[in-house]
Amino acid sequence: MPRNLPPLNPLRAFEAAGRLGSFTRAADELNVSHSAISRHIRGLEKRLNVHLFRTQKSGVALTEPGQAYLAQITPALDQIANATEALIAEPKGVVTMTTESAVAQKWLVPRLPRLKAAHPDIDLRLSITTDVMDIQAHDFDLGLRYLRTDPPDGYDLLFPSLVGAFAAPNFISKTGSKIDLTALASGPLIEEATFRLWPKWFHKSGMTEVPALKLPHPLGALLSIQSAVAGLGAVLMDKHLCQTEFETGALVRLNDVEIRFGGYYLATNQRAGRRRAVRAVRKWLQQEAHPDAAVGFG
């Protein structure tokens, strides 16, 4: 006996609209018009003789039968997608990722040629924002964020934030191999944020009594690094974010003291994580974050 199956396109339209809670977002995901989504769902409701959605002020919402149907359809479509991807030799397709500007520019983007070389058929699309968002609700595949407190559910540590002191070459005098802490404390210092880590760094570097420091208004990470390169002061910075400047000699480390302060966390959309392309990017990020690969200095 043949299976009683609706056409695939109406099922895909229903599943996307139900999962995303929006005909508009479903249309964007499937690259069709809003009217096409509406037409597919009306046809599916007529075929099934049941209302799947109800209209409300904020848009549309699933009815009780619609919720029950979605709970069955989503895993079924996932299974079809997984079976199809298993036949493909290499992972391919679009992977969406949300992250913030500093980690994108200073850590992620310089590494993207290696991703393209390893997986030429994966198209990684970045969305830059400072918001720590629910990637399930916003339908991103991956999220990479700096967090200094406990992460939201679903975020896993990619690599810790290890903060050290950097400056332009010859910015501060040294006695042998040691910097002059007293001179540094009286000189211009740059702060990335209002966390006031300089006193802690001076204590950890061996200064018993730290004088009152002249700390200017804090800058963002990118401006802090640029200011230090320009010779405007020494900066406390996560070493992952100024690796390029260190390797090119634009910045030097003042000593080997590091302060662990938060970390960079990776979240994977539970549903998207079943796709081979998403799993490949996640694995690649984990490999890049390995200390021996991600950090070229001690």
Q: How far apart are CA 66 and CA 18, in angstroms?
A: 8
Predicted local distance difference test score (pLDDT) of residue 294: 38
Q: Would you call 169 helix, strand, or coil by DSSP? A: coil
Q: Which secondary structure element, helix H or strand E, spans residue 114, and what is its range?
A: helix 112-118
Separation between Cα atoms, residue 114 and residue 216, nearest integer Å? 38
- The per-residue pLDDT for range 33-55, each reduced to its tens digit, is 999 999 999 999 999 999 999 98
pLDDT of residue 296: 36
Q: 278 exposed, middle or buried (CB, 10 Å; 0-12, 13-18, 19+)?
A: buried
What is the predicted pLDDT for the residue at 297? Answer: 36
Residue 177 has a pLDDT of: 61
How far apart CA 266 and CA 252 sit, in angstroms, is 29
Crossing angle between the packed helical segments 34-48 and 23-30, to the nearest 10 degrees: 110
What sign results for the dihedral spanned by CA atoms 92, 95, 101, 103? negative
Split at pLDDT 50, 70, 90, the class of 285 is very high
Question: What is the pLDDT confidence band of residue 134, given thresholds at 50, 70 and 90?
Answer: low
β partners of residue 62: 53
d(CA 126, CA 142): 10
* 73: pLDDT strictly greater than 90: yes
Give start-end residues of each CATH 1.10.10.10 domain in the chain.
Answer: 8-86
pLDDT band at 91 (very low <50, low <70, confident <90, very high): confident
pLDDT at 195: 73
Looking at per-residue confidence, does 224 or 87 come out higher? 224
171-207 per-position pLDDT tens digit: 876 545 678 888 888 888 998 876 789 999 999 998 8
**pLDDT(265) > 60:** yes
- Enumerate the CATH 3.40.190.290 domain ranges in the chain, comma separated: 92-298
> Where is average pLDDT lowest: 155-164, 185-194, 243-252?
185-194
**pLDDT of the residue at 162:** 92
Grouping H, G, I as helix, E, B as strand and the rest as coil, residue 262 is: strand
| pLDDT, tens digit (0-9, with 9 covering 90-100), for 94-123 | 999 999 999 999 999 999 999 999 999 999
- Residue 257 three-state SS: coil
**pTM of the complete model beyond 0.85:** no
Residue 5 has pLDDT above 90, yes or no: no
What CATH topology corresponds to 8-86?
A: Arc Repressor Mutant, subunit A (1.10.10)
* Mean pLDDT of all residues belonging to the chain: 86
Q: Does CATH place domain 92-298 in 2.60.120.1440?
A: no
Q: Are 179 and 259 in contact (CB under 8 A)?
A: no
